[in-house]
Amino acid sequence: MELWREDSHATEAIAEGYFQIPNESCSMIKTMIGRLHLRKDSESIKRILAFNAVCEPISIVLEMARQEGYDVHLIEGVSTFKERDKRPEVVQFVTAELQKVAIWLTGKPVDQARLSYEIRRKNEISGKIGQILQLRAKSPLDVPGFGVLLLMLGSFNYFGDPVMFSALLDQLTAELEEAIRDPDPRPYIPLVLGGAFLGDRTLYNAVEASHGVIVGWEFTTRDYREDVPPLESISHFLLDSQLAGQYGEMVGAAVYLRKYHIESLVRETGARGVIAGSVTGCPYGSIVPQLERTYFKNLGIPYISLETSVHQDPPTEEQLTRLKAFVEMLS
Amino acid sequence: MSDAQLLTPPTDAESTWRNYERKKLPSVAKLLSLAKSYTFHDVEESVR
């Protein structure tokens, strides 16, 4: 994400001009290679760890980065479509791939105690976010959709400060407990979001300006198992997330399984419709909504897909009009 | 404000919804600020 947060138009121009990547290609791909090219002579970060099971354009970016002098390590991906695909040897394979990462990074096997500690901390944070989402369900307008997205992003990296992030979650929990005693009375249209809107946050605000509230998210928190060795726990997490359609991939198992996860979110939350976000120009992201649209149409669940770029640009009038018309249709 | 909004004055219900006074949660603003302040440059600095 940081590769495209700043100066994304400039880095995209480098991709189109220097690397001759066609204009209509995915903005995420273009800004990634442009940014990596700009900072290839930086002394600080010269290594790229990539977990990319599926996206061919990102594989090309990584190869180009390798040619530009980066040390790139790829984790071999595995896709589980059915429970029976999660065989012990598959778990072992992913675990071995993760062990290779530790050796690539430090020259020695992973520090099991440290990783167990991090898994416990991650579960603790996920539990706090889960509690916040339950409280938010009682007065959802108190935490805007973009705020929820940040909570989930923060669960990945704690914004660099796990202690501060954890304290912030405690504060938000306390404030929400207070707020729901006198919930926001305004009516709203509950929605589920598949994928995410990248780039500018305004599209999240536009959902709320249209009286919609995202009450269900494809990216949800999930606990890591603490009853198995820590590297194996990560393998289970990965494979279980794939099987639950929560993994966020645009190919492989997600194409088949995401719709079931979204459908269950609709049932759980009472959402009246589904918005699917994807990146303009993504060859995979453009197919998933096409497949899901038919599925949800057959279920009688209204569905709209909105493509966005990674640029921090305000939404186009077309995006806003489609979004508002969709939410108004559900009211 | 877009042209469409200028041409279509809000209805009473819409206006009431939009202007409803609700105390904002301080921690939400803090979250936005924390996320904004965390950048690639910080990570680069920390490993320099």
Give the count of domains, chain A: 2
**Residues of chain B positioned with their CB less than 8 A from the CB of A184:** 20, 22
ipTM above 0.95 for this complex: no
On the question of pLDDT at B2 being above 60, the answer is: no
Domain end position, chosen among A29, A58, A75 = A75
Segments forming the whole domain that contains residue A207: 76-330
B36 lies within 8 A of chain A by CB: no
pTM of the model: 0.86
Point out the domain boundary residue: A75, A97, A122: A75
Query: How much is the pLDDT for A227?
Result: 97
Same domain, A141 and A35: no
A300 and A193 share one domain:
yes
CB contact under 8 Å between A147 and B26, yes or no, is no
Residue A313 three-state SS: coil
Interface A–B counts its CB contacts (< 8 A) at 76
CB A21 within 8 A of CB A33: yes
pLDDT at A298: 96
Q: Is the pLDDT of residue B5 over 60?
A: no
**A258 and A302: one domain?**
yes
Say if residue A221 is in the same domain as residue A324.
Answer: yes
Residue ending a domain, among A53, A75, A97, is: A75
User: Tens of pLDDT along A78-111?
Assistant: 878 788 888 999 999 999 999 999 999 999 999 9
Which residues in A have their CB inside 8 Å of a CB on B? 2-3, 5-6, 42-45, 141-144, 146-147, 150-151, 153-154, 157, 159-161, 164-165, 168, 171-172, 175-176, 179, 184, 186-187, 209, 211, 317, 320-321
Does one domain contain both A21 and A87? Answer: no
Are residue A269 and residue A211 in the same domain, yes or no? yes
Same structural domain, A220 and A91: yes
Q: pLDDT band at residue A165, thresholds of 50, 70 and 90?
A: very high
Cβ-defined contacts of A158-162 (< 8 Å, 24+): A158/A125, A159/B34, A159/B35, A159/B37, A159/B38, A160/B38, A160/B42, A160/B43, A160/B46, A161/B34, A162/A121, A162/A125
Q: How deeply is A265 buried, as exposed, middle or buried, from its count of CB atoms within 10 A (0-12, 13-18, 19+)?
A: buried
What pLDDT, in 10s, does the model give residues A116-140? 999 999 999 999 999 999 999 999 9
Q: How far is B40 from chain A (nearest CA, A)?
A: 6
Instruction: Report the sign of the C-alpha dihedral through residues A49, A218, B32, A204, in that order.
Output: positive
Partner residue facing A45 (CB), from B17, B20, B44? B44
3-state secondary structure A43-88: CCCCEEEEECCCCHHHHHHHHHHHHCCCEEEEECCCCCCCHHHCCH
Are residues A71 and A88 part of one domain?
no
Report the CATH number that the domain containing residue A112 is assigned in CATH: 3.40.50.11900
A71 and A132, same domain (yes or no): no
Q: Residue B47 has what pLDDT?
A: 55
Segments making up each domain of chain B, as ranges: 3-47
Average pLDDT, chain A: 90
Phi, psi at residue A155, to the nearest 5°?
Answer: -70, -20
Q: Are residues A2 and A143 in the same domain?
A: no
